[in-house]
Amino acid sequence: MGQAALVDNDAPVVRVQALVKRYRKQMAVDGASFSIGRGEIYGLIGPDGAGKSSLMKAIAGVLSFEGGMLHVLGEKIDSEAAAERVKGRLGFMPQGLGLNLYPELSVEENVDFFAQLRDVPPEELARRKHKLLAMTRLGNFRDRPMKHLSGGMKQKLGLVCTLIHEPELIILDEPTTGVDPVSRRDFWMILTQLLRERDVTALVSTAYMDEAARFHRLSLMFDGRVLIEGEPDVILREVPGTLVELVAESQVEALLRLETRFPQAEAVGPKLRVFVPGAVPQVARAQVEAQLEGLMVNEMQAVAPELEDAFIALLQRRQPAGQDDAQKSRLWLDGDPPKGDGDAIAARELSRDFDHFRAVDRVSFEVRQGEIFGLLGANGAGKTTAIKMLTGILPPTGGAGTVAGADMRHASQAIKERIGYVSQAFSLYQDMTVTENLRLFARIYGVPNSRLAERIGRVVALAGLSGVTTQLVSKLPMGIRQRLALAGALVHGPRVLFLDEPTSGVDPIGRRRFWEILVHLARVEQVAILITTHYMNEAEHCDHLALMHAGRVIADDTPAALKAALQQEAGQVLDIAAEPVLPALEALEQAGFADAAMFGKRIHLLARDITAAEARIRTLFAERGIQLLDIALRTPTLEDVFVYRILQQEQQEASA
Q: What is the DSSP string of 164-226?
A: TT--SEEEEESTTTT--HHHHHHHHHHHHHHHHHH--EEEEE-S-HHHHTTSSEEEEEETTEE
Confidence bin at 97 (pLDDT 50/70/90): low
Q: pLDDT tens digits for 606-620?
A: 999 999 999 999 999
Element (H, E) at 233: helix 232-238
pLDDT-derived band at 426 (thresholds 50, 70, 90) equals low
- pLDDT tens for residues 35-92? 999 999 999 998 777 899 999 999 999 999 999 999 999 999 999 999 999 999 999 9
322 has a pLDDT exceeding 60:
no
What would the CATH number be for the domain defined by 561-655?
3.30.70
Q: Tell me the C-alpha distance between 149 and 108, whole Å.
A: 13
- Selection from 274, 279, 278 nearest residue 292 by Cα: 274
Classified as helix, coil or strand, 282 is helix
Task: Using a pLDDT cut of 70, give the percent of the chain over it.
Answer: 94
Can you tell me whether residue 435 is helix, strand or coil?
Answer: helix
Indicate the SS3 state at residue 498: strand
Euclidean distance between CA atoms 297 and 468, whole angstroms: 39
pLDDT at residue 177, rounded to an integer: 80
Tens of pLDDT, residues 435-494: 999 999 999 888 999 999 999 998 998 888 988 999 999 888 777 888 899 999 999 989
Question: In the chain, how long is the greatest CA-to-CA distance?
Answer: 79
Is the pLDDT confidence value at 284 over 90? yes
**Rounded Cα distance, 146 and 107, in Å:** 6
The fraction of the chain above a pLDDT of 90, given in percent, is 55
Average pLDDT of the chain, as a whole number? 88
Amino acid at 593: F
pLDDT at 409: 80
Q: Specify the DSSP element, H or E, that contains 44.
A: strand 41-45
Per-residue pLDDT tens digits for 117-148: 999 999 899 999 998 898 888 888 999 999 88
Residues 248-271 have a mean pLDDT of: 92
CA 164, CA 182: separation in Å to the nearest integer? 23
- Would you call 577 helix, strand, or coil by DSSP? strand
Pairing, β 343-354 against β 398-403: antiparallel
Determine the Cα–Cα distance for residues 79 and 85; give it in Å rounded to an integer.
Answer: 10
pLDDT of residue 242: 95
- pLDDT greater than 70 at residue 341: no
- What is the crossing angle of helices 107-117 and 151-163, to 10°? 30
Confidence of residue 498 (pLDDT cuts 50, 70, 90): very high
pLDDT at 63: 94
Q: At what angle do helices 122-135 and 107-117 cross, to 10 degrees?
A: 130
Note whether 240-304 and 561-655 share their fold: yes
What mean pLDDT do residues 357-375 have?
A: 94
* Phi, psi (rounded to 5 degrees) for 430: -65, -30
Q: What angle do CA 10, 13, 16 make, to 5 degrees?
A: 115
- CA torsion sign for 526, 531, 537, 542 is positive
At residue 325, the pLDDT reads 52
Residue 30 pLDDT greater than 70, yes or no: yes
The pTM for the full model equals 0.85
Per the DSSP assignment, residues forming a β-bridge with 422 are: 499
Q: Are 501 and 342 in contact (CB under 8 A)?
A: no
Domain edges within the chain = 2-231, 240-304, 343-558, 561-655
Phi, then psi, of 557 in degrees rounded to 5: -170, -175
Integer Cα distance of 387 and 324 in angstroms? 31
Identity at 152, one-letter amino acid code = G
Is the pLDDT score of 626 beyond 80? yes
β-pair partners for 529:
372, 497
> Residue 208: what pLDDT?
78
Sheet with 627-634, edge to edge strand ranges = 597-599, 602-607, 572-579, 627-634
Measured CA to CA, the distance from residue 501 to residue 503 in angstroms comes to 6
Cα–Cα distance, 376 to 267 (Å, whole number): 20
Q: Which CATH class is domain 2-231?
A: alpha beta
CB 573 within 8 A of CB 605: yes
What phi and psi values does residue 573 have, to the nearest 5 degrees? -95, 125
- Beta strands 297-303 and 265-268, pairing class: unpaired
* pLDDT given for residue 8 in this prediction: 57
Mean pLDDT of 520-529: 91
pLDDT above 80 for 412: no
Lowest mean pLDDT among 50-59, 192-201, 314-323: 314-323
Domain 343-558 sits in CATH 3.40.50.300: yes
Predicted pLDDT at 327: 53
Domain 240-304 fold: Alpha-Beta Plaits (3.30.70)
Tell me whether residue 491 is exposed, middle or buried, using C-beta atoms within 10 angstroms of its C-beta: 0 to 12, 13 to 18, 19 or more.
Answer: buried
